[in-house]
Amino acid sequence: MLELPSDHRALLATVRRFCRERLEPHVAAFEAGDEPLEPFFRELSEALGLREVASALVDGTPSPFEGLPPLLLTSFVMHELSRCCPGVALSFGATTGLFGGAIVACGTDEQKRTWGKRALALDLVGAWALTEPGAGSDAFGSMKTRARAVDGGFILRGSKTFITNAPTCDVALVQARIEGTGDGRIAGFIVPTEARGFTRGRPFDKFGMQSSPTGELFLEDVFVPNELVLGGVGPDGLPQDARIAIKASLGAERLGMIPMLLAMVERCLEESLTYAKGRVQFGEPIANYQLVQQKLANIHTTKVLLETLFLRQTEAIALGRLDAITRAEASAHKLYAAKATVDAAMEAVQVMGGAGYMRGSVVEMMARDAKLFQIGGGTDDMQVLTIARDLLRVR
């Protein structure tokens, strides 16, 4: 695929216009934590007909975007949200992709109808909780949150941290180890935040992604009925092991980062190019100086390479061949794109000098937000290990 088809470009332009008119004016308030995201998400859902999209996916009713795979729609929305504010895109992705996507992929029909559809339509705020205070990169091996089988369900005990949307979510998909199975089995539990014993901490203050609330979840003997065990329980009263499904969620998250990172680099290029043409020093626009041109060319080069990754993904989704992008390749995409975006955003700050360094400048927000992608969804080091493991297995 050399470029997006014209109908895809038209859709991107529509979402872009909506974000420019309805999101851009609120970014400063979202970043300061002065306004909640939910009213904007409701507007976005209405504008794009996300309820109809969700019904089409779960119930098979007609979609307003007939012929467009829902994953592509999500990818385009993530791209356009990230041009304005990556933190908003991160929270959108946690509800619709991590939480909603996992329910639609692995839930029972009832779970898809009750929780999946509402998440995809942004009618609720979802969170996806794997990381714990003692279990980050070693999320499976060090997991301490436990689920004990009791009559009609499970009792959950433990805590989760660094969870996107934890401070605002209506429901979380909590990953916990089942006690007493002997095989270290892990399962996902759909836990509404009003469940007794389920509490959360205050939003963390953090380096970037200020618009996206991040926090802790605490489970003190929370009863979760069998109907809310992701995918249900088998005849033995136990769920199947969810480790492969969790890895699939992480793989999807890695791929979902590419449209975000591309949009961030595009925006950094636009901002720094405009500034360089208008800023006069030593009697000339700084764009005339080759050292500035080199930085602009570096940012542009990153944009070109990320576009290539984006188009490869878009084609794989459009052809229904996402499986052609292996886990190691998705890791390679994320590893390259995250580092390249951090570098490009820093170049943009440099081109803009003090104006780029000031809080409230777009490139300053992009530079801080970009760093998250080298940590969240598996750190750079974990991507290297995944790629290396794959290389060593096939050779």
Ligand X SMILES: Cc1cc2nc3c(=O)[nH]c(=O)nc-3n(C[C@H](O)[C@H](O)[C@H](O)COP(=O)(O)OP(=O)(O)OC[C@H]3O[C@@H](n4cnc5c(N)ncnc54)[C@H](O)[C@@H]3O)c2cc1C
Q: How many residues make up the chain in this entry?
A: 395
User: For residues 285-323, b (16+ Cβ closer than 10 Å) or e, as one string?
Assistant: ebbeeeebeebbebbeebbeebbebbbbbbebbbeeebe
224 vs 269 by CB, closer to ligand X: 224
Kindly state the smallest distance separating residue 260's Cβ from ligand X, in Å.
13
Least distance from ligand X to the Cβ atom of residue 106, Å: 16
Which residue bears the tokens 């529509």?
Answer: 14
Q: Which of residues 275 and 336 has its CB atom nearest to ligand X in the complex?
A: 336
> Which of 188, 181, 184 is CA-nearest to residue 160?
188
Which three-class secondary structure state does DSSP give residue 141? coil
Shortest spacing between CB 324 and ligand X, in angstroms:
26
Instruction: Compare residues 158 and 276 and give the one whose CB is closer to ligand X.
Output: 158
Question: Residue 96: what residue type?
Answer: T
Minimum CB–partner distance for residue 375 and ligand X (Å): 5
**Which residue carries 């390679």 as its tokens?**
332
Q: Which two tokens stand for residue 191?
A: 């836990």
Q: Based on CB atoms, which residue is closest to ligand X, 213 or 239?
A: 213
Least CB distance to ligand X at residue 161 (A): 8
Shorter beta-carbon distance to ligand X: residue 94 or 269: 94
- Closest residue to ligand X, judged by C-beta, is 136
Scored b (16 or more CB within 10 A) or e, 243-260 reads eebbebbbbbbbbbbbbb
- Cβ nearer to ligand X, comparing 11 with 173: 173
The C-alpha atoms of residue 190 and residue 185 are separated, in whole angstroms, by 17
Cα distances from 339 to residues 225, 254, 367, 371, 373, in angstroms, run 43, 14, 11, 8, 8
- Do β-strands 214-225 and 153-164 pair in parallel, antiparallel, or remain unpaired? antiparallel
Question: Residue 128 CB, nearest distance to ligand X (Å)?
Answer: 5
Residues near ligand X, by CB under 6 A: 94, 128-131, 136-137, 162-164, 209, 214, 372, 375-379, 381-382
